[in-house]
Amino acid sequence: MIKPDGVQRGLVGEVIRRIEKVGFKIIAMKLHKVTMEQAEKHYAIHKGKPFYEGLLEYITSGPVVSMIVEGKEAVKITRKIVGATNPVDAEPGSIRGDYSLEIGRNIIHAADSPENAIIEYKIYFAEEEFEVYQKSDEVWIYE
């Protein structure tokens, strides 16, 4: 998910470029505003923490771009492309390392496990919104 700061700063194309450049395909994507109900489900693990309310307020503050990315080791590799949650710890060349300075405005969210990816995408997408297809270059990406 490209968060409100990423959308407002015009980084949507750059983020998508990096995801596609590595060879992943996007099978679902939409620009939308996160509802409070969706935000509460997405960040339920943080309920009760001091930053929870601010997190909900921020993620619902403007449009986001949600997407489902598919490919071998998609979660693990996407996490590397995205960079550490705290931009101070993010490597140069990662999205957060290149474009963010603060943890509360770190451009993008990526699931931390395949299991959480499934939980999260079900908050934002119905399965009929997936576009399952084969890219012509997959033969050159995967052995």
> Mind listing the pLDDT tens digit for each residue in 29-84?
999 999 999 999 999 999 999 999 999 999 999 999 999 999 999 999 999 999 99
What pLDDT is recorded for position 118? 96
Q: What is the pTM of this model?
A: 0.94
Residue 59 lies in a domain: yes
**Angle, nearest 10°, between helix axes 12-21 and 74-82?**
130
pLDDT band at 138 (very low <50, low <70, confident <90, very high): very high
Helices (H) and strands (E) in the chain, counts: 8, 2
Bridge-based pairing of strands 63-70 and 25-33 is antiparallel
What lies within 8 Å, CB to CB, of 104 at 6+ separation is: 51, 54, 58
Instruction: Report, as residue numbers or ranges, the catalytic residues.
Output: 109
- Please state, in angstroms and rounded to a whole number, the distance separating the CA atoms of residues 35 and 27: 22
Report yes or no on 143 lying in a domain.
no
Q: Would you say the C-alpha torsion 75, 109, 14, 25 has a positive or negative sign? A: positive
93 in any annotated domain? yes
Domain that holds residue 85: 4-132
**Residue 138 is assigned to a structural domain of this protein:** no
Query: Would you say residue 19 lies in a domain?
Result: yes
Distance CA 42, CA 112 (A): 13
User: Is position 79 within any domain?
Assistant: yes
Angle separating helix axes 74-82 and 114-124, nearest 10 degrees: 80
Indicate whether 48 belongs to any domain.
Answer: yes
Number of domains forming the structure of the chain: 1
Amino acid at 68: I
What is the pLDDT, as a whole number, of residue 22? 96
Taken in order 111, 116, 122, 128, the sign of the CA dihedral is positive
The pLDDT assigned to 21 comes to 96
Give residue 10's pLDDT band: very low, low, confident or very high (50, 70, 90). very high
CATH number of the domain where residue 70 is located: 3.30.70.141
Q: Is residue 47 part of a domain?
A: yes
